[in-house]
Amino acid sequence: MPDIDELKIKLFCDAADFGNLLTWSADPRIKGFTTNPTLMHKAQVVNYEAFARQLIKVIPDRPISFEVLADDPEIMEEQALAISSWGANVNVKLPVTNTWGAFMGPAIRRLSRAGVVLNITALFTLQQVDRVAACLDSNTSAIISIFAGRIADTGIDPAPTMRQAARMLEPSPNVELLWASPREVLNIFQAEDAGCNIITMLPEMLSKLDLIGKDLDIFSLETVSMFYRDACAAGYQIESRRETATLSA
């Protein structure tokens, strides 16, 4: 049976709903937090900086990643410096490119040299990993986030990519590899096996952690019971042959 307590990989909560973030901050299994503008927009966050500063205040003891908002490389760099000033536990999410495909290498290099802890996000290829790693300062911590779940969405198994990325980053002990956008709890164990340091999980996935190691016979019975209970609650009926014969008699 798999045991989450035996894993080395760190679980990060990926969310923007303040209530969810507070709830999971009380769970010692959660070692960090990430968010992004898309999650914040869905959560109807109005003031980006106010939200971030409030979150840093209530969760000061674990890393939290906040993303830059601009598309112009120079403004992205300015925003990264501003975000990094919000708190000692802040990691700055910087996309690997901007929207027109320009590699953010120069900004990554300058920010990393300045001591900004970066979370380089939206990577999909090993070539991107190699280019980003070459820009990171060896004295500054960083995270490289590969969107393994989205790679899987294309029909490609992301595990070989993640495994190779982990090998590529072995000479960089201050750089952590993050398995982003997981699709199921199984991905935690796949990420661990591939050599990843971190995996991000949405609250709805984190809520399934207690299923790890669950007896499958019990799970089967619970599933059957769920179907039966819901059919009864819905009032569904099927006229059986026995009932038809009784009516005819």
Distance CA 160, CA 118 (A): 24
Cα four-point dihedral sign 97, 101, 105, 106: negative
Distance CA 211, CA 2 (A): 10
Q: What burial class does residue 203 get, using C-beta atoms within 10 Å of its C-beta: 0-12 exposed, 13-18 middle, 19+ buried?
A: middle
pTM comes to: 0.93
At residue 247, does pLDDT exceed 60? no
pLDDT of res. 241: 75
Rounded to the nearest 5°, which phi and psi values hold at 245? -65, -40
Residue range 84-122, pLDDT digits in tens? 999 999 999 999 999 999 999 999 999 999 999 999 999
pLDDT bracket for residue 175 (50, 70, 90):
very high
**Three-state SS string across 91-134, please?**
EEEEECECCCCCECHHHHHHHHHCCCCEEEEEECCHHHHHHHHH
pLDDT of res. 249: 53
What's the token pair of residue 205?
A: 């996935």
Distance CA 225, CA 223 (A): 5
Question: What is the Cβ-side half-sphere exposure of residue 14, based on CA atoms within 13 angstroms?
Answer: 22
Which CATH code is given to the segment(s) 4-213? 3.20.20.70
At residue 192, does pLDDT exceed 70? yes
Instruction: Work out the percent of the chain whose per-residue pLDDT is above 70.
Output: 96
Residue range 12-62, pLDDT digits in tens? 999 999 999 999 999 999 999 999 999 999 999 999 999 999 999 999 999
At residue 169, does pLDDT exceed 80? yes
